[in-house]
Chain A
Amino acid sequence: MSSKRLLTTLAINGIEHELALEPRRTLLDALRHDLQLTGTKKVCDMGDCGACTVLVDGRAMYACLLLAVDCTDRQITTIEGLAQADELDPLQQAFIEADAFQCGFCTAGQIMSLKGLLNETPAPNDDQILRAVTGNLCRCGAYRNILKAGRLAADQVAHPEEARHADSTH
């Protein structure tokens, strides 16, 4: 048995896409398979690991536990939506500068969680940064540098001119 497909409009990174989707399609699978937006990673698919984190109306959520048909009137931001033309988002730049990843598989999710934090708390303290990524597992153990990247990005947002190389120690 397959259920009726529903005509679904998804607003991803500011662009509306019209798709005919089975209700059981998760937002994660719709992004990766129907829209080829594979920056959002699929790991546990059960809301345990955080690799699929996207922003829904500005807030971090797990795309694996959202039905795509349930996201019709919401604004979704994925990792592909952060860079503006050739300019990386301050968070992406900070992850490079702080060496905040090894294998990189959790990175998109980590960045989206921190993006959600910075949307609401532009000048977070260390506790807030660490707390924002409690729902994102990194099995390489890059957490200390993820914290550094969070600090760097927050500084960059607050002081765009001077902060870029403020914390280059490891």
Chain B
Amino acid sequence: MRPFDYVRTTTLDETCQLLGQDGDSSVRALAGGTDLLTLMKKEISVPTQLIDLKRLPDLPSGITSTAQGMTIGTLTTMTEIETNVQLQEKYPLLAEAAAVAATPQLRNMATIGGNLLQRPRCWYYRNQLVNCWLKGGDECQAQDGENQLHALFGGGPCYAVHPSDLAPALLALEATVQLRGPGGERMVPLAEFYALPEEKRRQETQLEKDELLLNIHLPGLPAGTRSTYLKAMDRKVWAFALVGVAAIVRLEEQKIVDARLVLSGVAPIPWRVTAAEQALVGATANEATFAEIAEFALADAQSLSHNAYKITLAKSLVRRALTMLTDEG
């Protein structure tokens, strides 16, 4: 790692000002550090100053119930999300997503804020010898290269996939993020917070350089709603998703009255398949419906030279998730 200064701040204002104070990205915020330190060790991120967020008194940590739903503070660890009993009952898909992410050590360290803001695991992005488009270069080496792990949707200029398991679950829950900048706070639906990287914003979120993520707000779900997160990995544990699916379904007398489907591991941001959700509403819950929906959800997928297998995986996961969630047993 290159040398840097380590500072502790006392207020949110002071922190935002420090983060925004210079033109390039040399001031970075440190929470769990499980992503940032790996980027710094490879000199993909080279900050001259790190601000320790963990001891900032006004930065929220922990899970609280609200009138309708729940609120998760940005410093809440993955372990807390995995093991919180109320959250397990109310939003099982979120606890499941936390439980299949990373390893016990990483879940003890990593915060939900950092998890949502982590950078892609694309091997070109993570290789310090490659100046890929996402790092400011001219092209994506994965597009015509080793793209086994890359995007089916939303690709170009960047074909990396978003690595978070929590993000697709939160997107399915229609969560809102509370951001704090030097000029005050703003609330942004997660569906807008994640945005495909573009020429002038080569990152996966709308977070400004001088902003902090404070809270994630989860709306309530109607009684009888069921949810799950399924994840295909190239080994049984400690791998990023080849494909994942966050699914939420509410059933009334064998008819689906509400459905949400978000895929992970298939796009530079978590990928909601709205058309498939709409097709599910009003349909009868059975295997034929689910097979049709799975085809529909992947109809617009555009495979690269080495990742067409993900289409098969995603269809199977969609079918499996819907079957599980509508099984009366």
Contact = CB atoms under 8 A, between A and B. Distances in A.
Interface residues of A, number: 32
Contact of A62 (B3, B6, B105): B105
Contact of B5 (A4, A134, A136): A4
A24 B2 contact: yes
Given A47-B34, A66-B33, A135 B105 contact: yes
Contact of A23 (B4, B105, B108): B4
A134 B238 contact: yes
A116 to B, nearest CB: 7
Nearest to A131: B104
A68 to B, nearest CB: 10
A46 B34 CA distance: 9
Contact of A134 (B30, B41, B103): B103
Interface string B30-66: 1001100110010000000010101000000000000
Interface in A84-141: 113, 116-117, 131-132, 134-136
Given A67-B6, A135-B238, A23 B109 contact: no
Contact of B106 (A23, A62, A69, A117): A62
B237 interface: yes
A65 B103 contact: no
Interface string A41-60: 00001110010010010011
Interface centre among B6, B52, B103 (most CB of A within 10 A): B103
14 contacts: A1-B3, A2-B3, A4-B5, A6-B6, A23-B5, A26-B37, A45-B41, A53-B105, A59-B79, A65-B38, A67-B6, A70-B30, A116-B108, A134-B238
Pairs of residues from A and B, 6 with the lowest C-beta to C-beta distance, nearest first: A135-B103, A23-B6, A3-B3, A134-B237, A24-B1, A59-B108
Interface of A: 1-4, 6, 22-24, 26, 45-47, 50, 53, 56, 59-62, 65-67, 69-70, 113, 116-117, 131-132, 134-136
Interface of B: 1-6, 30, 33-34, 37-38, 41, 50, 52, 54, 79, 102-106, 108-109, 237-238
